[in-house]
Structure 1
């Protein structure tokens, strides 16, 4: 490479061209975008705050119900009582079938 390169010989001409008014259009578009962001034509409603407040109120209500046990108490049954109730609601034929299947079960009668 030669070290005698002279930048002054190149000149000051631009190697690229742009259409007429290109930079002016860019400037106009940028200013319109900035104007829309800074001062929008319609105020946008933010529902995030509304959802946060209502969600907090619902969570607080549920917490209060659980803490003060305001829900009515139900009759608590054991699994065996639930099984007995379901078994006695079956017809006698279904009860007999289940009883015979239970007696013939290989895994229970080992």
Structure 2
């Protein structure tokens, strides 16, 4: 029987990722005008989430290393590390996109046509 991917992870990392996803999702569903990125509490909370995501990355690295070391001992369930990393990346990208939304493209003002140098009557050829 081939190994199957666990849909539920029995690890603290999976619970943390789920909690972060729910927290971020709830915050990002609010209209930007109502909550606003200018809200210092929200900005601080999102910064805290970004720091926690770094910890989640380290935990995923440890889980992946342990899974490589114990390969074959528990063949019936494996942690889909790639999918977990992809989900964490989506969360991180969502926070970054929310904190730094795309900006309007720079405006290109029309060139000025006037010649502002005045020539005196004595300079006439």
Q: TM-score, normalised by structure 1?
A: 0.26
Q: Which has the higher contact order (CA 8 A, sep 6+)?
A: 2
Q: TM-score, normalised by structure 2?
A: 0.24
